Amino acid sequence: MIHVRRLTKIYKDVHMGDFVALDQLSFDALAGQIYGLLGPNGAGKTTAMRILSTVLSPTSGTALINGIDVTEDPEEVRRQIGFVSNNTAVYDRMTGWEMVEYFGRLNGMEEGALQDQMNLIFERFKMQNLRDVLGSKMSTGMKQKVSIARAMIHDPPVLIFDEATSGLDVLVAREVLKTVAQLRDHGKCIIFSTHIMREAEKLCDRIGVVNKGKLLAEGSKVDLMQEYEEDDLEELFFRLIETHAASCLDHEASQYSDAGISPSGVLPVESRLP
């Protein structure tokens, strides 16, 4: 359903020079599965999610969503996905109903089908109380519910959640996770990026650990633990990150020692896990 190959994103920064946000990222996610991208802040998760949702374009590499290249036909790709992130807010001056209806129309839905789908979604997510509430009057949890409803109004085969529980209280986050699990059960292909270990552990069928734009390890929870001989996903995560950080420092040190100067916050372009 989603095939990502050697996806690279380099930001040109006036002060820092080239900033490698994604470094040859490759992974696959299938229908009926939740693929978790797990990584600390600044790992490149949001950049990857934005490229998959075609908000950003990659510097190099390819990403196919349901067989469509994100760079070749971004509009069609956006029809195939629903994108929810902590950056995708709801409109303050629109009611919950209007917001979802608007995105249904942008997705080209016929009026009859749209109304049926909206009734279904509002029913399923128990959102009837949000019909006439303006975005500015909604709580964070309500907004996130509307965001999810907005993302799935056109019943896309792929759903992308970028830190969708970030900033939510425990109860609302639990609701969101339940919804994501339900969507998986309905056969959707879901990419779920998070920096919260327990979410990835409970929810994801496959997990990719990323740091500084690189994919460090990938597999099901059981496979990862077996491969790295760890009993706890959290421990495994820390081990991977620390090892990678150390290799980055070594890499920098070797670069700077060649040049006769000391390392400063330059980001590594090339780094490998041992």
Partner 1 sequence: MNWKTVKHIFHRELRDQLRDRRTLFTIAVLPLLMYPLLGMVFLQMANFSKEHPSKIRIFGAENLPAENPLIVDEQFSHNFADASAQELMQLELAQKDDLWQAAIEMEERQSSNLDTAQLPADQETQNSLQRLLDASGVDCLVVFPKDFATEIDGQLQTDVKIFAQASKDKSRIAVTRIESLLGTYRDKLATENLRAKQISAAEIRPFHVHKFDLSSDVSKRAAVWSRVLPFVVFIWALTGAFYPAIDLCAGEKERGTLETLLSSPASRTEIVWGKLLTVMTFSMGTSMLNLFSMSFTGLFVINSMARMSQGAMALGTPPFHAFGWLIVALVPLSALFSATSLAIASFARSSKEGQYYLMPILMISVPLMMLPMMPGAELDLGTSLIPISGLMLVLRALIENRIYEAMQFAAPVLGVTFCCCLLVIQWAVRQFNNEKVLFRESERVGIGSLFRNLVRERGAFPTFLEAVFCGVLLLVIRFFTTLIATQPGSFGEFARQTLILHVGMIIGPVALMAIILTTNPLKTLGLNRTKWQTIPLAILMAACLHPIVKGFQELVLRVYPMQADGGALQELMETIFSGAPSFIYIILLFALLPAISEELAFRGFIMNGLRQSSDRWTAILLSSLFFGATHGLLQQSIIAFFTGTLIGFISFQAGSILPAMFYHFTHNTVTVSLSQLNTSHLDSQPWLQMIFKSGENGGLSYTLPAYFAMSMIGISIFVWFYRLTKSEVHSVMPHQSEALPAIGPITV
List residues near partner 1 by CB under 8 A.
12-17, 50, 53-57, 74-76, 78-79, 81, 83, 85, 87-94, 102-103, 105-108, 147, 150
Question: Whole-number minimum distance, CB 87 to partner 1, in Å?
Answer: 5
Question: Whole-number minimum distance, CB 151 to partner 1, in Å?
Answer: 8
Distance from C-alpha of 150 to C-alpha of 162, rounded to nearest angstrom? 15
Closest to partner 1 by CB, 146 or 204: 146
Provide the b/e sequence for 194-224 (b: ≥16 CB within 10 Å): bbebebbbebbbbbbbbbbbbbbbbeebeeb
Integer CA distances (angstroms), 188 to 23, 77, 181, 184, in order: 27, 15, 10, 5
Distance from C-alpha of 98 to C-alpha of 101, rounded to nearest angstrom? 5
Distance from C-alpha of 228 to C-alpha of 22, rounded to nearest angstrom? 24
Closest to partner 1 by CB, 150 or 206: 150
Question: Whole-number minimum distance, CB 14 to partner 1, in Å?
Answer: 4
Question: Whole-number minimum distance, CB 1 to partner 1, in Å?
Answer: 18
Integer CA distances (angstroms), 50 to 14, 57, 88, 91, 187, in order: 22, 8, 11, 20, 23
Question: Whole-number minimum distance, CB 148 to partner 1, in Å?
Answer: 12
Closest to partner 1 by CB, 114 or 233: 114
Closest to partner 1 by CB, 56 or 197: 56
Question: Whole-number minimum distance, CB 187 to partner 1, in Å?
Answer: 21
Phi, psi dihedrals of residue 248, rounded to the nearest 5°: -65, -45
Question: Whole-number minimum distance, CB 102 to partner 1, in Å?
Answer: 5
Structure tokens at 101: 């209806």
Phi, psi dihedrals of residue 170, rounded to the nearest 5°: -60, -40
Who's near 155: CB < 8 A, 6+ residues apart? Answer: 117
Closest to partner 1 by CB, 62 or 107: 107
Closest to partner 1 by CB, 64 or 225: 64
Closest to partner 1 by CB, 6 or 79: 79
Structure tokens at 113: 């089908």
Distance from C-alpha of 128 to C-alpha of 69, rounded to nearest angstrom? 37
